[in-house]
Amino acid sequence: MNIFESLTIALEGLAANKVRAALTMLGVIIGVGAVIAMLGIAQGAEQQTMQRIQQMGTNVLMVQSGQSRSGAVRMGFGSSQTLTMDDVTAIGQKCPSVLKVAPEARSNLQVKYGNQNTQTTVLGVTPDYQDVRNYSVQEGKFIADTDVKSLKKVAVIGQTTATTLFGTVSPVGKTIRLRGISFQIIGLLAVKGAMGFNDQDDTIFIPITTAMRRVSQSKYVRMISVQAKSMDLMDQAVTEVSALMRKRHHLADDGSADDFIVRNQADIIQMASENSQVFTMLLAGIACVSLLVGGIGIMNIMLVSVTERTREIGIRMALGARRRDILYQFLIESLVLSLIGGLLGIFFGLVAAWIMGAATGWSIAVAPLSILLSFVFAAAVGIFFGIYPARRASLLDPIDALRYE
């Protein structure tokens, strides 16, 4: 027997038992479909996370103040007040690997317009903040150097805050109030999207000098965003900024702890990638269980087929079929079952991924490699779970097989 004859016999056997073949393939279809859909969700989530991180800016380091204490309890990073505008100036002037520096003063305040009000994040920033953190203006203009130098009471508003306060009406030119102080809106930001639970569009930007002197009455900044000249200089920029900050904050070289923290965007990307890989492996592992269950179903039905066709096996052996011919025949039948189930599973997996993406708004990314791996895995399942029934069929004694009723 050649492979084409074996394929023909296998397809004839499936056609003769359509319902049984369909139920057998169902496990493989569900398994492969689940693998495709789950990997699509995981890979889409990873891509979306990377895009959100990239939206934070290119080649960006984030310098935050250190942790404060409340008794024996350490608060989170950024809770202490150690960063000043002089630190910002020093980083820009004395760190050769740094391109731009953008300080940030943050407050959570109630903003009012007429009879509308909402709680939002108010950021005091400089003009460089727009470039460093990849913000773009949809209407109007961003904060300028003259606004910072003259402590102007102007604001640039995010899309979410604008919709809450003004609905569909353009906010540019309108006047809002923060802590009783009137601010004129000079710009509307383009949509930036959410980062985790943080809506980056629910925000208001004002000049940092105005924020520090008129709104928060503080001489400290919450965070300093530092843009390196290139990705290759990120590590060097971290070293330069850390050394300068320790020197400026009079931290001795005896191993005393920093009163600040420098977060590297590359480290954040790596951590997010590692978390996504764990998530992907978890989902793929869960989906593969379904595929293994489908493989067990194939082995079960092939054992039944061997029992039903014992007399047929005996006749073939009597007519000259070798044991390996019988082995290959049942192995090919098992492989055909798993491959057809795999192809159908790929189709239904792609459909399921598309439906879930459309229904939930999630980003779905089905990579060709995941489709190929799912198909190969389905074939491997068919071979692995078909070996035992095929070997059992090939080891039957021809005389006993011919006597079987």
At 403 the pLDDT is: 60
Give the count of beta carbons closer than 10 Å to the beta carbon of residue 403: 11
The dihedral formed by the CA atoms of 70, 124, 187 and 173, expressed in degrees to the nearest 10: 90
**Do 355 and 251 belong together in one domain?**
no
**Do 123 and 176 belong together in one domain?**
yes
Q: How does DSSP classify residue 58?
A: S
SS3 for 369-383 is HHHHHHHHHHHHHHH
67 falls within a domain: no
In angstroms, the Cα distances linking 187 to 47, 50, 136, 270 are 30, 28, 10, 35
**Do 226 and 290 belong together in one domain?**
no
Could you give the number of structural domains in the chain?
Answer: 2
What six digits make up the tokens of 210?
A: 């105005």
63 falls within a domain: no
**C-beta of residue 226 within 8 angstroms of C-beta of residue 91:** yes
Domain final residue pick, 258, 286, 320: 258
Q: How confident is the model at residue 372 (pLDDT cuts 50, 70, 90)?
A: confident
What six digits make up the tokens of 33?
A: 């479909």
Model pTM score: 0.62
**Do 231 and 282 belong together in one domain?**
no
**Do 251 and 348 belong together in one domain?**
no
* DSSP SS3 for 127: coil
For residue range 254-285, list pLDDT tens digits in order.
556 777 888 876 666 676 677 777 777 776 77
Lowest mean pLDDT among 51-60, 97-106, 213-222, 386-395: 51-60
At 157 the pLDDT is: 96
87 falls within a domain: yes
At 112 the pLDDT is: 93
At 212 the pLDDT is: 92
Lowest mean pLDDT among 109-118, 312-321, 359-368: 312-321
Domain final residue pick, 226, 258, 290: 258
Average pLDDT (114-131) is 92
75 falls within a domain: no
State the residue range of the domain holding 98.
81-258
**Do 102 and 176 belong together in one domain?**
yes
For residue range 136-145, list pLDDT tens digits in order.
899 999 999 9
**Do 107 and 249 belong together in one domain?**
yes
For residue range 310-336, list pLDDT tens digits in order.
677 677 777 676 777 777 777 777 788
**pLDDT winner (highest mean) among 119-123, 332-336, 389-393:** 119-123
166 falls within a domain: yes
Average pLDDT (54-65) is 76
At 190 the pLDDT is: 92
153 falls within a domain: yes
**Do 279 and 250 belong together in one domain?**
no
**Do 86 and 193 belong together in one domain?**
yes
Higher pLDDT, 55 or 199: 199
For residue range 147-194, list pLDDT tens digits in order.
999 999 999 999 999 999 999 899 999 999 999 899 999 999 998 876
**Do 100 and 174 belong together in one domain?**
yes
At 88 the pLDDT is: 92
At 71 the pLDDT is: 46
266 falls within a domain: no
Angle of the 310-318 helix axis to the 265-308 helix axis, nearest 10: 80
**Do 117 and 138 belong together in one domain?**
yes
| Beta-strand relationship, 198-199 and 73-77 | unpaired
| Beta-strand relationship, 154-157 and 181-189 | parallel
Domain final residue pick, 225, 258, 291: 258
Helix (H) / strand (E) element for 265: namely helix 265-308
**Do 285 and 245 belong together in one domain?**
no
At 126 the pLDDT is: 94
Contact residues for 69 (Cβ-Cβ < 8 A; gap 6+):
75
68 falls within a domain: no
Give the integer Cα–Cα distance in Å for 207 and 105. Answer: 9
